[in-house]
Structures are given as C-alpha cells and as structure tokens.
Amino acid sequence: MNEHLSALEPASVWAYFKEILDIPRPSKKEEKIITYLKEFGKNHELETLQDEVGNILIRKPATSGMENRKSVVLQSHVDMVCEKNSDKVHDFEKDPIDTFIKDGWVYAKGTTLGADDGIGIAAQLAILSADNIAHGPIECLFTIDEETGLTGAFGLKPNFLQSEILLNLDSEDEGQLFIGCAGGQDTLAWLPFDKKEVPKGYMAFKIMISGLKGGHSGDEINKGLGNANKMLNRFLWESREELGLKLSSFDGGNLRNAIAREAFAIVMISEENEADLNEFVQNYQEIFRAEYHTTEPDLSFDLSKTEIPDFIIDNDSVDELLNAIYACPHGVIAMSQDIEDFVETSTNLASVKIHEDEILITTSQRSSVESAKIDICNMVASVFHLAGARIKHSDGYPGWAPDPNSAIVDITEAAYKRLFKTDPEVLAIHAGLECGLIGDKYPGMDMVSYGPTIKGAHSPDERIEIETVGKFWDLTLDILLNIPAKK
Ligand SMILES: [Zn+2]
C-alpha cells in the first residue's frame, strides 16, 4: 500500500511518512504509535524516554564538529483527527491510511490523511535516523493528544527537556513562520430567575436573528461579524419597555469557540401591541442590515407567532439579563503592539441558554499576553457579578507572546531567505498552539512554528502539497546548521 510515495523526495521523509500511515493513532488512542517510537529509539540506540502522560522524547547527540552548538527540540504531535466520508468503510483503530497523488498533492482515500502532524513526525524520524545530516544535540519531542485536549502539552513536566530552542513542526502554510499564539479561558455565568405565570390576554412571538456567518472566535474575531446574542439582546433591551414585552426564553449560539450565528427569544405582548412589535422588528432588521451590509449580507431578523409558553421570566431577572448581556464586551479588546494586524486580546459572547431555573451565559476569552487574558476574564465576570450571577472560569491555557528579539526567528527567517530568495511571512495566530503550554513550562524557551502546506486539515479533504515538503525539509536542515554555539 502507498508504494507511490516511495518515488517522492526527500526520500527519507516520505519513507517514514509511508511507514506511519500504517500505524493507527487516533487522539487518546496512541498506544501503537508510542510503541513504534520506543522501538525506533531502541533500534537506533538513541536515548528514549516517556513521561507520565505518555509523551515521548528521543535524544540524539551532535554530529562530529557540532558538539558545541545549543541543543534544539524538534516537536510534533503523534495523534491525528479521525474523520471519514459517510460512505467510506474504515476503522481508524486498525486500518492503515490509503493514499493517492493528484496534481502535486497527497490525499487519503475518503479519510483524514494525518499529515497533521504525521509529516512532522516523519521529518523528526528522518533526522534521528540519518548519518549524513549535520546538527548539534537534538531532542525530538512527540506529544500526545494535541487535537482533543492538548493533553500531552498540558502534562509536560518542566524538567523533561534540556534544550533552550524549540522548532514546532505543526503549522500548515509553507512560507509562514509563526511566532506567537493566544491563550484562552472561558467565563461562565449562571443567572437565577423565577418562573412566573403567563399573563392573560397576551400573545406569544418568536423573534429570531439568523443568516449570520458565525465563524471561529479566534481566527475571525476581527472580521466585523455579527453576534446574534448581542443583536437580539439589543432589540429586547431597547424595545422592552415601550412594547411591554415579557420574556419567556432566550436561546442563542452553541459552541464556545464560535461566534453566535443564530439566536431567538420567545416574548409575550398584549394584543394591542402586535402591530407595533411588527414595526419594531422591521425597523431593527433595517438597522442591522445597514450596520452589517458588508460582513453579513444574509442577515435576517423576523418574528413569527408561536404557542403560549409555560412561564415567563420574572421582571427583575429579565432586567439583569438584558443589562448584563448589553454591558458584556464582545470582540477585539486589544491589538498587538509588536505585530501588525495581530489581535492580542478578545472575548466572545458565545451562548445564552436556559437550564431549569437559571440562564447560562457562556463566554470565551483569548490573549497572547497572560495578564491581559486574566484582565479580560475579570472584566466579563464583573459584568455578571453586577447582575447577581454565579461565575465560574474554566482552567484555561496560556498564550505564547511574540518575542521581537527571538534569535530562532531571526535564524529561521535568514535560512528561508537564503534558500528560497524570498521573505517568509512572520505571523502570530489568535488561537491556541502547543507552544503556549510548552513556553509556560519552560520560560525563556525560544520557539518558532512552521511546516509544509496542508489544506483541509481535520476533514477527509486533508491533503499535503508535495513540493512544500521538500522546502520544509531544506529549511529544517538549514536551521539546524545555523544554530549558534553554547555560550
Ligand atoms: Zn496538528
């Protein structure tokens, strides 16, 4: 199987990639790849360690003449996302990944390919097994369960690694060097309420905002997208008194890391206000469409008559809810002072749900600066404190603040220019990477993240561009050649 990969260059990287396609490695079920790596270390007589969570570390001494160089960690994650097309018969815990080549890309047949991050593993193994590549002391770190919990990076102990430089081989756009990422934490608020009897002579309506794009609360928080929770709440806050609205339900958004795409409220009004409610909703649809005419062209805000609900929410609680959601920030809080167009701090008002006799508001904060992350979490919490809510923060994960003086970024940039006669893009992302957690355990670790081009990651459309694997490999070897001497 996968014999066509044997013809590709660099041969050693593709040979290992081909080998690990045969080894099942779903997130949280990584025993087989771990066994393989231990065997690999033993067969190559390399120091091989496993820590308590299951991460593997293989050390290789410097090649002759390179002994005085600083030690470097090359890092990948061993697990892969397991997605397949519905008509594909495949057992990710047993079956090898079957691939094909088309137009310069390697694809899997109906499943994820696992190039994220199998290609990183393959490059590490190719270096560890080589006898013709010059490098200083190397540590290859293989973390577990990056995809579903960052478990390996979370569990990494501060004394496992000996190096001061780390190359993370888990980025997906050749030509881009990543030098920072955001940390995150969720803030949850539970607002209690009393159920009141529905008033006599009132009608019930469902008011709904839909057609928004949604989007990722990290990567897309600066795109000016609408938040359905905020928009619906604004309508309710502004029209409640005038129309004598009673609120029975507020439901918006779903995932904590997505911008709310839809939200609806069940409201009750007296019969004589029906025409006014209609007019109000029309007006707001026009206001919203005008405000979001570029970013949300498919926005729709409308109402429909609905069944009389079982209860309404007591007036004081409605006050607290609508005021808190109105005051709660959403979107970009700060841009980076060091990197152009990079969002440093943001918050997402993700969802509003009714559970029994409480309203649960889920929000999610991100920042590449740890103290700023805590600040925005507190800012959101304080709003809900004022409303009398019970608050809880999730554990969270730390960010990786870009270091404008990073030596390894300079070395990587210079290597890239020398090899490819063009500048790489140097970027940070407003989402999580293992580097945030690793840097937290190893303060001062000088890090950069890069990789070949992978498209469609985490879906059966995942593919890797063959040509960029060669560039990724050449860049890695050149970086290793240029690692400075120990002081
Ligand atoms: Zn990955």
Q: Mind giving me the DSSP string for 129-170?
A: H-SS---SSEEEEEES-TTTT-HHHHH--TTS---SEEEE--
pLDDT confidence of residue 254: 87
- Here the CATH number for the domain that contains residue 140 is 3.40.630.10
Give the side-chain half-sphere CA count within 13 A for 251: 9
Contact criterion met (CB below 8 Å) for 226 and 168: no
Peptide bond into 117 cis (omega under 30): yes
- Here the CATH number for the domain that contains residue 224 is 3.30.70.360
Q: Decide if 486 is inside a domain.
A: no
Active-site residue (options: 30, 79, 139, 296): 79
For residue 137, report the distance from its CA to the centre of ligand 1, in Å: 25
For residue 311, report the distance from its CA to the centre of ligand 1, in Å: 47
What letter does residue 273 receive in the DSSP assignment? G
Burial environment of residue 328 by CB neighbours within 10 A (0 to 12, 13 to 18, 19 or more): buried
For residue 169, report the distance from its CA to the centre of ligand 1, in Å: 9
Does residue 258 surpass a pLDDT of 90? no
Per this entry, what is the length of the chain? 487
Q: pLDDT grade, residue 350 (50/70/90)? A: very high
User: pLDDT digits over 428-438, tens only?
Assistant: 988 888 999 99
Q: pLDDT grade, residue 287 (50/70/90)? A: very high
Mean pLDDT along residues 198-226: 93
3-class DSSP assignment, residue 331: strand
For residue 223, report the distance from its CA to the centre of ligand 1, in Å: 24
Q: Decide if 487 is inside a domain.
A: no
pLDDT confidence of residue 86: 83
pLDDT > 70 fraction of the chain, expressed in percent and rounded: 100
Peptide bond into 10 cis (omega under 30): yes
Same domain, 413 and 380: no
For residue 145, report the distance from its CA to the centre of ligand 1, in Å: 10
Active-site residue (options: 30, 83, 145, 146): 146
3-class DSSP assignment, residue 322: helix
Q: Which residues surround ligand 1, an ion (CB under 5 A)?
A: 116-117, 170
Q: Whole-prediction pTM value?
A: 0.82
Amino acid letter at 105? W
Q: Mean pLDDT across the chain, nearest whole number?
A: 96
Does residue 218 surpass a pLDDT of 90? no
Same domain, 352 and 464: no
Same domain, 175 and 188: no
Query: Residue 140 pairs with which residues in a beta bridge?
Result: 58, 74
User: pLDDT digits over 144-156, tens only?
Assistant: 999 888 999 999 9
Q: Is 67 an active-site residue?
A: no
Same domain, 164 and 209: no
Domains held by the chain: number: 2
Q: pLDDT grade, residue 265 (50/70/90)? A: very high
pLDDT confidence of residue 204: 98
* Domain span including residue 204: 184-393
Does residue 185 surpass a pLDDT of 90? yes
Q: pLDDT grade, residue 165 (50/70/90)? A: very high
pLDDT confidence of residue 458: 87
Q: Is 434 an active-site residue?
A: no
Same domain, 232 and 245: yes
Taking the C-alpha atoms of residue 229 and residue 364, their distance in angstroms, rounded to an integer, is 14
Per-residue burial over 56-79, b if 16 or more Cβ lie within 10 Å, else e, is: bbbbbebbeebeebbbbbbbbbbb
Smallest Cα–Cα separation from 223: which of 348, 381, 338?
348
Q: pLDDT grade, residue 257 (50/70/90)? A: confident
For residue 410, report the distance from its CA to the centre of ligand 1, in Å: 24
Q: pLDDT grade, residue 256 (50/70/90)? A: confident
Where among 393, 428, 443 does a domain terminate? 393
For residue 80, report the distance from its CA to the centre of ligand 1, in Å: 7
For residue 117, report the distance from its CA to the centre of ligand 1, in Å: 5
Where among 393, 417, 450 does a domain terminate? 393
Longest CA pairwise span in the chain (Å):
90
3-class DSSP assignment, residue 427: strand
